[in-house]
Every structure is written in C-alpha cells, then in structure tokens.
Amino acid sequence: MALPPPGHPRVQPKAVDRLTRHLRALPALLGVLLLLGAIYAVQKEFRHLRLEDVGTALDAIPRRALAISFLWTIVSYFVLTFYDRLGTIYAGHKVSYGRVAFASFCAYALSHNLGFSAVSGAAVRYRLYAHWGMSPGQIARTVAFCSLTFAFGGMVLGGAILLLEPRAVPFFGDVLPVATLRAVGAAMWAIVAAYVTLSRVLGTLRLYGHQISLPGLRMALAQVVLATVDVAITAAIFYTLLPAAHGPGAALTFPVFLGVYVTSYTAGLAANLPGGIGVFDTAILFGLERYLPAPDILGAIVVFRLYYYVIPLFLAGTLFAGNEVLLRGGGLLQATVAARGVQALARWSEPEFAVAAATGAVMLSGMMLLGVGVVAPHTDFSWLDPDYADFATQAGQFIPSLIGAGLVVLAIGLSHRVNLAWSATILLLVGGAAFAATQPSRLWIAGVLVLTTLLIAPFRASFYRHARVLAGPLEASTALSLLSLVVCVLALAGLRQHVRMLPNNAWWSVVLSPEVPNSLRVSVALAVGLALIAIWRLVRPGRVTWHPWNAEARLRLARFGPLPATGADGVVWGEAEQAGIAFRRCGRVLLGLGDPAGAAMDQVSAIWRLRDLAHQEGLDPAIWRAGPALLKVYGDIGLTALPLGADGLPLPEAANETPASEQYLVCMAERDLSALLPLLPGLAMAEAME
C-alpha cells in the first residue's frame, strides 16, 4: 500500500472526508432514532401500563422458574468461554482454559452492557491476552474468530425459524410473503454452508486484498454448533421466565419464541446502544403481545436483564478491577512480567475505563428518565408540603424527561472528557434523584441516580478537557448559546402550566400527542431542541491547535531533540509548549512519529493533546517507533503496543510470548492494526530515503 505524502491536511479529499465523518455518526444516529421510535411505539400501544401491574407479574414468576433461568445464565456464559478457547487455538497461541474463561467472562459481560470501544469485548481481550504473551496480530485473529462465531448462531437459528416458522418473526412475518422469508432463511444457511465448505476445501481466502486463514473443517463445524447452542441457551433464559401462553391459533412454543428473540436481539445490536436498551425490550414486547399480557412480558424482561446483564456486569467489573490491582501491586508478578518484556504491553487505563463506564451509566440514566413516563405510576404527594406537592403534581414527567434529555447530551460531553460536562452531570443527577425521592413508587429511580452519581464523582481528574466556553475569551456564538439556554429554560417553565393536566406530560409525549394544540407541540419541541443544542455547544471540548511542518516548526522541535527521519504533516505541542510530537495523517489514523521530544514533564500532555487532536478530526491516534519509557502513558489513552524491529517493521510472532523490543507501534489495535501494518514498509522506506 502506498504511503500518503506528507504536508497535506488530509489524505482524502475534503468532501470524502466529510462523508466519512457522517458515515461514522450513522450508527449513533440510528440508535437514537430507534430508541425514540421504541419509546413512541410503547407509549402509544401500552399507555395504560402501570408499575403496580408489572410488580404483580414479577411476584407471580415461580421460584422454580427463577432458579432454572439463573442456571441457564450460568450455562450461557460457560458456553461463551469456548468462543475464546477455539479462538486462541485458531490464532496459534493456545491459552489455558482458566485464563480464557476469565477473559471471556469479562469481555462479554462488559461489552453486553456498555458497548463503548474503550471497554468493548475487543479492547478487554487486547488488555488481558497481551499480558499473557499473545501478540496483537494473534489477539486480532481471536477477536475476529469470536465475532464470526457469534454471527453464525444467529444465522443458523434465524434461518431455521424463517424456513420452518416464518410467521413467528415479529413485524416482518405479518408483512412479507412467506416465500420471501424462506428465501432469506435459505440464504442464511447457504452462507454458513459456504463457510464450512470453504474451510474444508481452502486453507486461505483472499478478500478485499487481505489474506484470511480459514480454520479447517472440524473447527468450522465446532464454530457453527457452538454458536447455535449459545443463542438457544440465551433465549432459554428468557423463555423460562414466561408463563404458559397461547396466541390466536398457536401456542408460544420455544421455536416460535426463538423467532421473536433472535429478531429482537438483532434489532438491539443494530441500535448500537448499551445493552440494546429500549429497542430490544420494545421488539420483545411487540413480538409477544399476541401471546401474553404486557405486564408479564415486562416482568420477564426485568429479570432477564438482571440475570444476563446487571449481575454479570458487577461481577466482571469487580474481577477486572481486582486483576488490575494484582497487575500493578504484585511485586513478584511485576518482576516476572518485566523480565518477559511484556509489562508495557499489559497496561490498561483505569481513567479510560472510568470514562467509558461513567458515560454508559449516565447515558442509561438519561434514557431511563426519558422512558420512565411510558409506565404511569399511581403517585400520591399528599404527605408533602402543599406548595411542593402542587409543584410535584404539575411537574409529573415533564421535569424528569427534560433531565433525561440533558443527561443524554452530557454523556456525549463526558465521552470527550470535558470537565464542565462532569459538573453539569452531577448537578442533574442530584436534582433528578431529589425529585424522584418524593415519589414512593419511584424510589428505585432515585437509587439508580444516586449510584450513578457515586460512580462518576471520584473520577473528576479523568475529565481534564476544558469546555470551549471556558477555553478562551467569550465568543459571540458562546454568548448566544448561553442566552438561548436561559430563554429555553424560562419558556419550558412557562409551558409546564399548559401540560400539567395530561396523564403523561413528558416533553416527548406532549410533542407526539394529538390531544394538545399544534402550537403547544411546536413550542415544546423547539424549546427542548434549542436547549439541547445550546447545552452541547457550551460543553463541547475546546479545539486543539497544531502547527504545520514548516521550517519554524522543525527548528523549534529540533531544540528539544532529534527530528523524525521521515516527513510530517504537523506538530502538536504540550500544554506548557516544552515538548512536541510530529505526526502524519494516514487514512483514518493520526500517526505520531516517535515519542514526544522535550521536557519530560510536558511529554505526557503532548501525547494527550495528540489524542485529542485525533478525536477532534474524527481519527484514531497511533505512534510509530515509540520507546518503552512512555508505553504506560500510551496505555492510558487506550493504545496497545506491537513490538518492532530495528527496521521499524513488526517482529515475527512468537508461539509462546511476545518478544521484547526497544521500539513499538502503539495503536487501537482492535480497529486500526490491519490498516496500519501495510503502511509500515512505506514508512520505513521513506525514512531510509531521507
């Protein structure tokens, strides 16, 4: 692959670059749209649901069913461990089952719930398997193997349902012709059969310029069987919690439920939201409504999420944190790891983990406050002071839904590590908890918000970036955003009086309700929309500036240390401007050319500013020819190290442990390693010609 020439602001044309940024935002936009659609659909179809009815349904679940469902959960996570077991064998670096089970449980429990790249299943595997001596290339093959295996389970069972019970598939089963559904099912089976056949016939497959090693017939068959069993067992966790049910002309058999479950789970994955929150639940609710009353379905959803998501998340988080303490605190272990030369490869960033966990928790809290108005509780405020009781009655769902929308926007600011977003989030969480605490039927909401507050409060130092409003002199656009926010808040306070009598006066319900005048609906929509835009414009991070690679920049950087041997696009300085790092833009990667040169106290800030510049431009950060001294810092920004030889190219993979080196390529290996490896020979050649 040809190396892009230095000196150009971007490798791609600006129009293509903008399109790429928009395409990257599509999954998040799709998730938000699906969530809003789910809230609207449930509110429209199940507006008379009450929390008391759901509680009654929960109490009615037999203890035997609860115990069996819990056992199915244990079996499900046990089966998942064999994904990684086969994956490490396929990658050529067999890891002991105990380690594989630990890595698999942590990876799946965290990624099921959070879904953010910093703590995704891939990133967790890179962190753990690197410590156990696997190279990034081997880990990449393991991750790809696990992802492909998971897909096969959905294809096999989804294809079977479409072939045998096509009408069991919610939404599509009532719309599309049976012949079309069966053709899709046959295509799914054909894909799986083609994979197994190619694994038997071919040793390798070349696809889009990449050479892929196929696992062989026996392992391919094991993949298909394992994935099919896994999906069926996970569905059994939910199915066990449901009472016996019959629909129009048919009973809710396990094959019929599988059709609903696989479709709903796929919708949750497509939503790109933590745990498929809202979308998965809505799809299940609509898919089963012909067989069961809504409270029974919601009761099963609550227990399923507790078993399969919440309990494993806390267990995995505790185990993972304990493992980090052992890695950093165990003297003998540290000495052993250092002697093997993989200590630098085995670093994980607690700040990165904290930011991702905080972002996920705040996002979920915001979605909870947005959606809690779907289920209308019986609320008694007679025990409060009359003045406050009147205010609480009028506020209803209006204020909680506004707080929820604000938390969703602030979660985006948290993901960018903005300190103002942290402060505003704490304020909204405390306010939301205080309001929820006045409603006896929603004390659990107050508890969730308090726990979320306690989760993010200790990590103030992790949110180090200044908001644009605080990063420089007050600009006209910032002043306009402040004014807009104040006006919108005052407008919403005035509009509250006109919606207080609605049974559900959440702002989104008012906007969608045909029972209120159009002028009021438009006013609420505009006020909320403009307020959210103003909040984002106020908490978005300040911009990182960089300097072009001209004579002045080269002279200035040369005062701190040797210049990179190959050309650059620019240089980023540390906060104190006593250290700098040259970089090139290579496709979707902002590639630093060696460690920062300059004062040690400012090198770390230069690395973080390079990371911020990459995120600002929609790129991923990486460093070529990084030395071992700063690998800890690179680990703190979520990068994984790949050892390089003296020629700047990757060292051959070792069967037992990662070789030690004096130079590394550090990158987001789970995303960018395959794109960077073909560029390294060109970099090395350009360096030799300088």
We report the CATH number of the domain holding residue 593 as 3.40.630
Residue 457 in domain: yes
Residues 297 and 401 in one domain: no
pLDDT class for 238, splitting at 50, 70, 90?
A: very high
pTM: 0.65
As a whole number, the mean pLDDT across the chain is: 76
Residue 6 in domain: no
Helix (H) or strand (E) holding 213: strand 210-213
Q: Using the predicted structure, report yes or no on whether residue 510 has a pLDDT greater than 90.
A: no
Single out the residue in 482, 506, 539 at which a domain terminates.
539
Residues 94 and 44 in one domain: yes
How do residues 650-674 score in pLDDT, each as one tens digit? Answer: 777 655 555 567 888 888 876 787 7
pLDDT class for 335, splitting at 50, 70, 90?
A: very low
Residue 439, SS3 per DSSP: coil
Residues 268 and 221 in one domain: yes
Residues 41 and 189 in one domain: yes
Residue 511 in domain: yes
Residue 3 in domain: no
Q: Which of 364-373, 482-491, 601-610 has the lowest mean pLDDT?
A: 364-373
| Helical spans, DSSP H, in 540-660 | 551-558, 600-616, 631-636
Residue 2 in domain: no
Residues 535 and 558 in one domain: no
pLDDT for 196: 87
pLDDT for 133: 74
Residues 343 and 425 in one domain: no
Distance of CA 517 to the CA centre of its chain: 39
Q: What is the dihedral of CA 300, 304, 307, 308, to 10 degrees?
A: 170
Single out the residue in 348, 371, 386 at which a domain terminates.
348
pLDDT for 72: 94
Residues 361 and 507 in one domain: yes
Residues 475 and 595 in one domain: no
Distance of CA 445 to the CA centre of its chain: 23
Residues 309 and 370 in one domain: no
Residues 341 and 381 in one domain: no
Q: Which of 60-74, 229-243, 487-501, 558-572 has the lowest mean pLDDT?
A: 487-501
Residues 560 and 465 in one domain: no
Q: Using the predicted structure, report yes or no on whether residue 608 has a pLDDT greater than 60.
A: yes
Neighbours of 632 (CB within 10 A): 13
Q: Are strands 620-626 and 589-593 parallel, antiparallel or unpaired?
A: parallel
Q: Using the predicted structure, report yes or no on whether residue 229 has a pLDDT greater than 60.
A: yes
pLDDT for 17: 47
Single out the residue in 517, 539, 561 at which a domain terminates.
539
pLDDT for 252: 82
Question: Residue 476 carries which side chain, given as an amino acid letter?
Answer: A
Q: Using the predicted structure, report yes or no on whether residue 207 has a pLDDT greater than 70.
A: no
Total structural domains within the chain: 3
Residue 465 in domain: yes
How do residues 397-435 score in pLDDT, each as one tens digit? Answer: 778 888 888 998 898 888 777 888 999 999 999 988 888
Residues 387 and 474 in one domain: yes
Residue 4 in domain: no
How do residues 346-361 score in pLDDT, each as one tens digit? Answer: 333 445 556 766 777 7
- Backbone dihedral angles phi then psi of residue 543, each to the nearest 5 degrees: -80, 145
Q: Token pair for residue 617?
A: 């431009």
Task: State how far the alpha carbon of 632 is from the alpha carbons of 349, 350, 428, 635, 658, in Å.
Answer: 9, 12, 35, 5, 17
Q: Using the predicted structure, report yes or no on whether residue 262 has a pLDDT greater than 80.
A: yes
How do residues 153-180 score in pLDDT, each as one tens digit? Answer: 888 888 888 888 777 777 676 677 888 8
Domain that holds residue 525: 351-539
